[in-house]
Structures are given as structure tokens and as C-alpha cells.
Amino acid sequence: MKRAKIVELFRRLRELDPHPTTELDYTTPFELLVAVILSAQATDVGVNKATRKLFPVANTPQAILDLGEDGLKRYISTIGLFNGKAKNLIATCRILVEQHGAEVPRSREALEALPGVGRKTANVVLNTAFGEPTIAVDTHIFRVSNRTGLARGETVRAVEDALNKVVPDEFRKDAHHWLILHGRYVCKARRPDCPSCAINDLCAYRHKTVTHAA
């Protein structure tokens, strides 16, 4: 996609949603980190239901350590893969307390050293909690980037690298949120709602739908 189209694409997405953000509920960087770890292979809605019960009881690394792994599981058992996530969260909280003064680190290296935190999670925390212009590529962003022709790649990392090259600086901080929300609600996996798409005419997708999705 040529630069003029890319600028117009993000200009339209910004016009629709000038201040996009995550749909995960959080009030501190630590709460965001917990929510993103829990969101792997789970919906934001499901995570929010669990954290609305968890965070009033334990929303600091030490408080979650005090719950213990079994105690934590009682709050997150409705989320997929909760056993492994509970184990990772306890280990992460221990590292935060022992090595980072119970604070979420602001470096990618330190974040990715935490159990349950990969590149995507680190990018989300750096972007959403700390305002860094990182782009976390999930399945929605991977799909939208390839479909539209914005940034094609065969792997998540390839798409991330391509996006970092083509997204203009003025849109970089919010690009992650615009693309994920567009993929979640418009450019859906099984049947994209092309007639309602604000960037339809800029998109290179060859199999556009011609009627509104149900």
C-alpha cells in the first residue's frame, strides 16, 4: 500500500475513534499486565468478568502472592488455561517484588523475562501503560494488515516489523488499538463487514462482502 493510502487509512480510523484504548479493564500498569497475561486465548469480556472480582481483593504483586496459586485460581477459573496462567502470574509477581520493587518494568527486556509475558504482551504494556509507540500484533492485526495490504507478512513478527516501517509517526502510538478494534468489529475473520468499512476503497482484499454482515 502506498504512503498516501496509508495516511488516509489511519486518518479515517482516527476520525472514527480519536482516542482508542484497550477494552481490558485496568487502573494501574500492574492491573494491565495481569489482564493481558490472562487474555491469551481468552476474550476481553471474559477476562474483565474475572478481574472485576480479583482486583478489589488483590491488585498488587504482593497481594496476589498472598493469595497463593490455589487462591488465585478461584478468581480466574472461568478463563481458559487458568492453571498455567495462575502459575505464571505467581512467578511473575515474585519477580516483580524481588527484582523490581513491586513495580512493572518499563523495558522490553525486563518485561519479556517475566513468566507468561511474550513480545506481544510486552508491546501492549509498553504502549497502553507507558505510552510507547509499539505495535502488538495479535490475530486481528495480523489479519487486517495482510487483507488490506497495509503490511503483509507470513508471521506475526514479520507483520510487526512491516508495520513499524510503514505506519507514519503521527499514528504510531494508537495504530495498535485502531487495527485491533477494526479487526474485532469490522474486518472479522469469517465474514468481514465490508459495506460498513470506512477504509473499504483503500483495501486490497479481493473477496469483499457486498451485503452487511449479520
Residues 6+ apart with CB under 8 A from 73: 82, 83, 86
Pick the closest to residue 158 from 142, 173, 175 (CA basis): 142
- 70 annotated active-site: no
- 193 annotated active-site: no
Task: Note whether 164 and 135 are within 8 A (CB).
Answer: yes
The greatest distance separating any two alpha carbons of the chain, rounded to the nearest whole angstrom, comes to: 56
Catalytic choice (73, 138, 188, 193): 138
Pick the closest to residue 81 from 56, 116, 45, 55 (CA basis): 116
The 10 Å Cβ neighbour count of residue 102 is 15
Catalytic choice (53, 120, 188, 208): 120
Among all residues, which ones are annotated catalytic? 120, 138
